[in-house]
């Protein structure tokens, strides 16, 4: 059964697209058990992937090379990281940097000397590299300027980190991009056969991200040992789980979300189908206790992290209070016939951030199989054109599915305030003010709301009986809008907003995608970019086994402990 059949035929009560695809709902999403970081670790654990570090060659400053080998379901992969140091003044969160302290690639197959040399030449170039289908993902990033040296010195001295000094960091290294899916000649995502272990969206990138995080730990521990072979210790159990991988995210996510309506629909749909299933669960002690455990885990996490609100979202202090409120409300629902639905309905009255926090908690009760979710997420964006559709048919479809355009005030001057563009420096997506720079031929055509509105107006003037293909012969500039509307991309394919509007807030769409990736600790740095962490609490590679728990998210900040464990 395909995803659209599930959505159309489902007996489940799904949330309406007008609510789910509203910018503030998308902008309140949190990681869930369906997030890609978690499904990747579950797949690796349940299929008994064998991962080992096969080579580490670093100097005392951490410059050199680290290689990991992954044996996964009859496939061999290698993650190769090249590390160096660059002046702190050259560190940037943007994609435009000339160099990075870590650049790495995930490749499929055995690692010959030729391939290693090829990677050593090409991977550090990142956006100007020329790769091939052996390469599945490349990434890069820098060390945390504040903490890397501190952590090395601390371990070299035989001590664990002091919580008050690094507890708010959450990461040792910070990435700025994970490229894959055909970029720079890499293998295309749909080039993976369906039974391939990485044939789920972003699984290759998240395997790379997890191993990037492992690289950060290994780099610190190895340097500590080089500097002080006698005294150095490894990170203890709590610190081994605490650090994730930092990430800075800019505007690149917006064009992606707007250009891939079918994929966006799939991402949202698996969440909504799961949520509807959980809300329909009858009262049971087992499910109630499981939810209570997650509520407690969330409370301990937010309480230990601490931090004030940071526009436009709540910080850990507020979330800690909120989750206590959720606990109290839920405890009063133990005689409800459908307590999970009741909790959701209560949350809906509290605003989008609390609603989506409750959604993330409720989704922990979902038991949809990972294989099924992976299947539903595997979307092919190509569609055969419909040569039979008439203008009248299209008019009806737009009236039925795009009525929300009327609420966006698309005829106003502020509706086309911005246009989207790609900078010549590392192809960084930006937005520009139309009144300041003329787009000429350089606009990235993600102005879908504006285009759909113009299409709607012109369709009204056209003969309803002619074919849409004939309509396009006279007005070919409507091609993008027509293609978007004739496809049945699904009910959750369209964010209810105009990304060219003066008031468009990119953070909303960015946050939804980052939550789906499995990122957390959203810290907006402006209207256009934010910092996050991923894999905080995740197992390290040596811990991975079929019994690895999926409960690794929402770790607590470690406490200072002077005990040491020798390498």
Strand 171-180 vs strand 244-249: parallel, antiparallel, or unpaired? parallel
The yes or no reply on residue 428 touching another protein (CB under 8 A) is: yes
Nearest Cα neighbor of 431 from 448, 412, 447 is 447
Among 11, 286, 436, 547, binds another protein (CB under 8 A): 436
Query: DSSP letters along 22-51, please?
Result: SHHHHTT----TTSHHHHHHHHHHHTT-EE
Among 58, 342, 480, 486, binds another protein (CB under 8 A): 480
Query: DSSP letters along 274-288, please?
Result: HHHHHHTPPP-HHHH
The yes or no reply on residue 187 touching another protein (CB under 8 A) is: yes
* Span 84-103, contacts to another protein by CB under 8 A: 92-94, 96
The yes or no reply on residue 183 touching another protein (CB under 8 A) is: yes
Q: Let me know: does 522 contact 313? Beta carbons within 8 Å.
A: yes
- Closer residue to another protein (CB): 295 or 455: 455
- Closer residue to another protein (CB): 423 or 559: 423
Among 90, 399, 437, 567, binds another protein (CB under 8 A): 437
The whole-angstrom separation of Cα 199 and Cα 269 is: 19
Both tokens assigned to 263: 């994929």
Among 188, 284, 412, 559, binds another protein (CB under 8 A): 188
Indicate the helix (H) or strand (E) that contains 52: strand 50-58
- Closer residue to another protein (CB): 354 or 446: 446
* Span 102-161, contacts to another protein by CB under 8 A: 114, 117-118, 121-122, 130, 132-133
The whole-angstrom separation of Cα 149 and Cα 466 is: 69
Q: For another protein, which stretch binds (CB under 8 A), given 322-330, 390-398, 400-408, 422-430?
A: 422-430
Bridge partners, residue 293, by sequence: none
Among 43, 271, 279, 431, binds another protein (CB under 8 A): 431
State the DSSP code for 475.
-
Among 88, 89, 465, 476, binds another protein (CB under 8 A): 476
- Closer residue to another protein (CB): 122 or 364: 122
Residues 548-567, mask of contacts with another protein (x by CB under 8 A): --------------------
The yes or no reply on residue 432 touching another protein (CB under 8 A) is: yes
**Cα atoms in the 13 Å half-sphere on the side-chain side of 3:** 28
- Closer residue to another protein (CB): 342 or 422: 422
The yes or no reply on residue 478 touching another protein (CB under 8 A) is: yes
Among 479, 549, 550, 567, binds another protein (CB under 8 A): 479
User: Tokens 């926090």 correspond to what residue?
Assistant: 357
Smallest gap, in angstroms, from Cβ of residue 294 to another protein?
35
Strand residues in 280-340 grouped as ranges (E): none
CB atoms within 10 A of CB 397: 14
Both tokens assigned to 187: 């293998």
- Closer residue to another protein (CB): 48 or 483: 483
Both tokens assigned to 304: 């230990």
Nearest Cα neighbor of 104 from 134, 65, 69 is 65
Among 158, 167, 182, 255, binds another protein (CB under 8 A): 182
Indicate the helix (H) or strand (E) that contains 454: helix 448-461
The yes or no reply on residue 226 touching another protein (CB under 8 A) is: no
Smallest gap, in angstroms, from Cβ of residue 189 to another protein?
8
- Closer residue to another protein (CB): 166 or 248: 248
Considering only CA atoms, give the Rg of the chain: 25
The whole-angstrom separation of Cα 364 and Cα 334 is: 18
The yes or no reply on residue 523 touching another protein (CB under 8 A) is: no
- Closer residue to another protein (CB): 344 or 419: 419
Q: For another protein, which stretch binds (CB under 8 A), given 142-150, 309-317, 520-528, 552-560?
A: 520-528
Q: Let me know: does 28 contact 348? Beta carbons within 8 Å.
A: no
Query: DSSP letters along 56-95, please?
Result: EEE-TTS-EEEEEEEEETTEEEEEEEEE----GGG--SST
Among 12, 120, 342, 472, binds another protein (CB under 8 A): 472
Which residues contribute to the site for another protein (CB under 8 A)? Answer: 92-94, 96, 114, 117-118, 121-122, 130, 132-133, 181-193, 250-251, 384-385, 387-388, 421-425, 427-428, 430-433, 436-437, 441-443, 445, 467, 469-470, 472-473, 476-481, 483, 525-529
């Amino acid at each position: 059964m395909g995803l659209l059949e599930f959505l159309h035929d489902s007996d489940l009560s799904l949330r309406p697209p007008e609510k789910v695809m509203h910018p503030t709902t998308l902008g309140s999403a949190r990681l869930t058990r369906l997030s890609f970081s978690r499904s990747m670790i579950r797949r690796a654990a349940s299929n008994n992937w064998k991962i080992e570090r096969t080579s580490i060659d670093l100097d005392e400053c951490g410059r050199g090379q680290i290689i990991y080998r992954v044996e996964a379901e009859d496939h061999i992969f290698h993650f190769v990281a090249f590390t160096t140091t660059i002046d702190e003044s050259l560190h940037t969160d943007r994609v435009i940097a000339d160099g990075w302290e870590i650049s790495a690639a995930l490749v499929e197959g055995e690692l010959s000397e030729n391939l290693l040399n090829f990677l050593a030449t090409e991977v550090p170039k990142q956006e100007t590299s020329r790769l091939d289908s052996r390469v599945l993902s490349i990434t890069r990033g820098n060390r945390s300027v504040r903490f890397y040296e501190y952590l090395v010195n601390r371990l070299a001295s035989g001590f664990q980190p002091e919580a008050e000094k690094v507890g708010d960091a959450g990461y040792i290294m910070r990435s700025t991009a994970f490229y894959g899916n055909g970029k720079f000649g890499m293998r295309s995502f749909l080039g993976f056969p369906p039974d391939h272990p990485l044939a789920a969206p972003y699984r290759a990138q998240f395997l790379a991200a997890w191993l990037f995080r492992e690289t950060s730990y290994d780099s610190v521990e190895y340097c500590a040992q080089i500097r002080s072979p006698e005294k150095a210790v490894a990170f203890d159990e709590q610190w081994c789980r605490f650090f994730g991988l930092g990430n800075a995210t800019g505007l690149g996510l917006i064009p992606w979300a707007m250009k891939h309506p079918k994929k966006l629909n799939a991402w949202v749909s698996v969440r909504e189908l799961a949520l509807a299933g959980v809300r329909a669960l009858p009262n049971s002690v087992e499910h109630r206790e499981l939810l209570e455990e997650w509520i407690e885990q969330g409370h301990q996490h937010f309480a230990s992290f601490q931090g004030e609100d940071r526009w436009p979202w709540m910080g850990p202090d507020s979330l800690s209070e909120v989750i206590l409120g959720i606990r109290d409300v839920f405890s009063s629902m133990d005689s409800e016939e459908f307590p999970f639905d009741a909790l959701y309905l209560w949350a809906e009255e509290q605003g989008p951030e609390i609603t989506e926090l409750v959604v993330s908690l409720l989704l922990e009760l979902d038991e949809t199989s990972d294989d099924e979710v992976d299947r539903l997420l595997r979307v092919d964006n190509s569609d055969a054109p419909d040569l039979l559709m008439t203008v009248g048919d299209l008019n009806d479809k737009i009236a039925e599915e795009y009525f929300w355009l009327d609420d966006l005030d698309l005829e106003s001057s502020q509706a086309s305030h911005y246009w989207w563009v790609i900078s010549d420096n590392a192809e960084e997506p930006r937005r520009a003010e139309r009144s300041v720079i003329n787009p000429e031929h350089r606009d990235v055509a993600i102005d879908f709301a504006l285009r759909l509105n113009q299409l709607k107006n012109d369709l009204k003037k056209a003969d309803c009986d002619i074919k849409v293909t004939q309509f396009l012969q006279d007005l070919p500039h409507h091609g993008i809008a027509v293609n978007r509307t004739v496809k049945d991309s699904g009910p959750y394919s369209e964010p209810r907003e105009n990304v060219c509007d003066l008031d468009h807030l990119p953070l909303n769409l960015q946050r939804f995608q980052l939550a789906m990736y499995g990122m957390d600790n959203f810290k907006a740095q402006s209207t256009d970019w934010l910092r996050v962490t991923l894999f905080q609490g995740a197992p390290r590679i040596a811990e991975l086994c079929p019994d690895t728990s999926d409960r690794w998210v929402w770790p607590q900040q470690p406490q200072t402990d002077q005990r040491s464990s020798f390498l």
